[in-house]
Structure 1
Amino acid sequence: MVIMSCTHNLQLNGDDVHNYGRGIALEPFVHQVSGRATMMCLNETTVCKPLNYREHFFYKSLPQDIKQFAPRYKGVVNVNIEETPDGYVALTAYPYEPDSLIDDCKSDYDVSTDSSEEEQEDLQSNESTEEISEQSGNCDTRIKVRRTGSMCVDDQHHSVHTNNTTVNPWIFKVYKEGLQRQLQSKPRVVKQFILLENVTSKFRKPCVLDLKMGTRIHGDHDAEAKKMHHEIKSAQSTTQQLGVRLAGMQVYQPKSDTFFCLDKYYGRKLDRHGLRSTLRRFFQDNYRTRHDLLRPVLLRLRSIRDSLKRLRTYRFYSSSLLIMYDGASTSGYDVELNTLDEIPPDGGDTADNQSDNPATEDPKDRVRIDIRMIDFAKSTHQEMDSKYVHDGPDHGYIFGLTNLIKLLKEISKGDSPSSE
């Protein structure tokens, strides 16, 4: 069983060493809809996940064009994972101190078996851990997670894996498997976690769609057997056909005050029609389709695609795209359907048309929706690995974005398939 609760009014910084012994107790990130890394909350605006050297380097070397579409990188912390005398497991974050590690600091999620000396030396430099000096947030809940995967939130037990639930069922699987990997048979381990912006923090009821992007999901350093496994998986799903696949989602249902949830296993079974129907379901609540959100989503997707077209040597293998909005917001419900005509034509649906669309995003839309690129453990570019240097932009990812834009435009027009 795991217990995690917020610690109030705790400040950690270099001038306040006496507080280091207390640390900051971590909370589970309850809006995780996909992935196998154990995501934790340091505070309301910061999450952390087990450090992967390649992902860490990638975050620190993101070009400005893409940095605006990724969660803000905030540094590294040491996380003490320890079984307590009362049978719980406590996760506590401390400022990053390389000499304090009692474990091999390599993450379980490393893509390659070896990290370069440059990467390790870079990590051991004066890493920014700005968020560790902040208060741990205004969390009033106590969350207990059993090794079996059941969870107790404020003494309310959640263990039934249903589609409609107050807690996304995926996190039961993540914490059950993740904590077993981390602790194994040891009573205590110290792991490095990377600190990232909590991109759901501005939403009261985050509706989250996780899409696996690109036509290739294996990394350059994956073993041949793993590459073959991923290629088969891609061929049997929309990854190869469309360059986009559902990895997970949750949609808030106001009538029942629950989330409708789907996972990656559901996503692997979908064909083009099924994916379009699922995307349409994401933009629905109990009452109607949120047409007011489609225009800002389409504009932001095009902005991301335009940025990717300008990048050379970058590959985002097995990365995801998060599309988010606030399910608690009812603004825009009375949008007139003729406003959908304001969605400008897409200038990049064909390979021959490379012109950028002049339409720009309304700053107000960034409050209503958000789209971020995440999960860079298998991403690469020429400065990361001289052995594998790819030419030109990531056409597989761009192909996926183009098809995603097509699907969303079909939904905006009432699910009338466009000519293909």
Structure 2
Amino acid sequence: MNDCECNQQPYIQLSPYFHQVGGHSSMFQYGKDTVCKVLESSELEFYESMPDSLKKFTPEFRGIVTVQYCEDELGFIKLVAQPETTCNDDDHSSNEEEMKITTDQESTDHNSKKSVQLRCSEDGRVDYSNNLGTDAVNYEQGKIIMSKINPWGLQLCKKQAEKLHRQLLGDENVTISQKYILLENVTAQFRYPCILDLKMGRRQHADIDSDKKRQSKIQKCESSTSSTLGVRLCGMQVYQVDSGRYIFTDKYRGRILTIDGFRSTLVEFFNNGRITRLDVLPAIIERLESLYETINFLSTYRFYSGSLLIVYDGLLQSNLIDIRMIDFAHSVHATPATDEISAANNHAGPDKGYLFGLERLIDVFKEILNEEKKLIPTVNLAN
């Protein structure tokens, strides 16, 4: 057991972030409108130097926290954060009250979620101490499932806890802590966030990647829609109005989708089990076109391995949408005076791979909108 050093204030207990559909490192809920993820110096540098024109298309950067890993005498795991810089979220103190899960359909996905607790057993295994339902617990990668709780984000939280627990072995009195960056929770404004996480661009490897990692990323691009469309699926959740649950799809399924399969999946993204949400498509297309124009004016920027979040509200009475770029750990901004590596890799002009992906994505959305409209029965007003 190691005790959290909670004598100083303020400390905020983190909870799993329930709407992380992609990525490889876990994110946590810091407060009502703020999430946090492990700090990577390259991503922090990008957020701190981001051009103003991109800020409306990215989550707001809200500072840095130190997160401490703790286990009590019963094995229950806590992650507590101590702010280092000011956070814009004034409601973080009520975090525990907001993270409650109930079986009531109306509140399943809003701000009343019961904390999902992790617990370390005597043999060192970390698992959930709550009854999450068989769908989330028995989740298999690459499979489409329906559940009230996103299994991907929970799986990443569990892996992160297991990694930190191993650092305690042999010295239970050691303090385990990490730096995290605070970011705007893009999904906070939605009652039932339907989320599409897309890996953008034809190239995913960074200039500084090892040969092994470079070859792995090249192979993933060549064998997926990244090479043909400049975009591939990394994760998705779609709210189903009749069941009050979400359909979840992960990046492993995204890697094996054909062009037709990718297009069909985008159609599924707008299907809530009752209707196809054509009402949100025009606004999504318009915002994607605006993003295209913004990136087209950004010379020497490359957003390698970056993702794009497309979100709309599963609440039928809402036509709210949002689109944000995320994941900038491998982004590059070449400057003529200082960046010889980037200059050698021909980083002049805008990121054509990212723009290519946006073009194809816009085209597919327009096709879906036009074709789905044709399927809507017309009303004979003369009768």
So what's the TM-score if we normalise by structure 2? 0.82
Shift, 1:135, TM fit: 2.6
Question: Aligned to 2:38, which of 38, 42, 50?
Answer: 50
Partner of 1:293: 280
SS across alignment from 1:393: coil
Contact 1:149 1:172 in 2 (8 A): no
1:92 aligns with 2:80: yes
Partner letter of residue 320 of structure 1? Answer: S
263-272 vs 177-186, which deviates more?
177-186
Residue 204 of structure 1: how far off its partner (Å)? 1.0
> Does the C-alpha gap of structure 1 residues 50 and 178 become closer, same or farther in structure 2, counting only changes over 3 Å?
same
Residue in 1 that maps onto 2:265: 278
Corresponding residue number in structure 2 for 1:160: 138
> Which of 336, 355, 377 is equivalent to 1:398?
355
Q: 1:245-273 CA distances to partner (integer Å, 9 max, x unpaired)?
A: 00000000111111000000000011110
- The correspondence for 2:214, drawn from 214, 227, 241, is 227
Partner of 1:374: 326
Query: Counterparts of 1:242-391 in structure 2 under 5 Å?
Result: 242-331=229-318, 368-382=320-334, 385-389=339-343, 390-391=347-348
Decide which of 129, 148, 155 is 1:173's aligned counterpart.
Answer: 155
Q: CA RMSD in A?
A: 2.3
Contact 2:240 2:273 in 1 (8 A): yes
Contact kept in structure 1, 2:16 and 2:154, CA below 8 Å: no
1:68 equivalenced with 2:56 (yes/no): yes
Aligned to 1:345: none
Unaligned runs of 5+ in 1: 1-17, 97-126, 332-364
Provide the rounded CA distance (Å) in 2 between the counterparts of 1:398 and 1:217: 14
Q: Judging changes above 3 Å, is the alpha-carbon distance between structure 1 residues 66 and 204 closer, same or farther for their aligned structure 2 residues? A: same
Q: Is 2:64–2:181's contact at 8 Å kept on the other side of the alignment? A: yes
Q: 1:175 offset after TM fit, Å?
A: 1.7
Residues 1:184 and 2:166 aligned together: yes
Displacement of 1:317 in angstroms is: 0.4
Q: Distance in 1 between matches of 2:10 and 2:48?
A: 29
Matched with 2:93 is 135
Deviations 1:369-415 (A, max 9, x none): 00000011111102585532421100000000000011111111116
- Match of 1:142, SS state, is coil
Whole-Å separation in 1 of the counterparts to 2:202 and 2:66: 35
Aligned-pair CA distance for 1:88: 1.6
1:409 and 1:95 map into 2 onto residues whose CA distance is 44
* Secondary structure of 1:413 counterpart: helix
Is the 1:150–1:172 Cα contact (8 Å) retained in structure 2?
A: no
For 1:32, the equivalent position in structure 2 comes to 20
| Aligned-partner SS, 2:342 | coil
Residues 203 and 241 (structure 1), Cα distance of their counterparts in 2 relative to 1, 3 Å cut: same
Q: Structure 2: how far apart are the matches of 1:26 and 1:386?
A: 41
After the TM superposition, which residues 143-158 of structure 1 pair with which residues of structure 2 at under 5 Å, given as runs?
143-146=116-119, 151=128, 156-157=132-133, 158=136
**Whole-angstrom CA distance in 2 between matches of 1:312 and 1:182:** 40
Could you say which residue in structure 2 is the equivalent of 1:80?
68
Query: 1-side partners of 2:119 and 2:273: how far apart?
Result: 32
Q: Which amino acid in 2 is paired with 1:185?
A: Q
Kept after mapping to 2: 8 A contact 1:149/1:173: no
1:211 and 2:168 correspond: no
2:183 — aligned with what? 196
- 2:369 and 2:126 map into 1 onto residues whose CA distance is 39
Aligned equivalents of 2:287 and 2:55: distance in 1? 14
Code of the residue aligned with 1:20 in structure 2: it is: Q
Deviation at residue 220 of structure 1 after TM alignment: 1.1
Q: Which residue number in structure 1 is paired with residue 109 of structure 2?
A: none
How far did residue 288 of structure 1 move? 1.3
Alignment deviations for residues 141-188 of structure 1 (CA, whole Å, 9 cap, x no partner): 2221356675455x5555132610001111232122222333423244
Aligned length: 334
Letter in 1 for 2:117: K
Overall identity of the aligned pairs, in %: 40
Amino acid in the other structure paired with 1:395: K
- Measured in 1, the distance between the counterparts of 2:262 and 2:193 equals 21
Q: Which residue of 1 aligns with 2:365?
A: 408
Alpha-carbon distance in 1 for matches of 2:369, 2:254: 21
Q: How far apart, in 1, do the equivalents of 2:11 and 2:270 lie?
A: 40
Q: Is the 8 A contact 1:36 1:178 kept in 2?
A: no
Structure 2 unaligned runs (5+)?
1-5, 101-113, 374-383
Cα distance in 2 between the residues matched to 1:196 and 1:393: 26
CA distance in 1: counterparts of 2:162 and 2:339, whole angstroms: 32
Question: Does structure 2 conserve the Cα–Cα contact (< 8 Å) formed by 1:42 and 1:136?
Answer: no
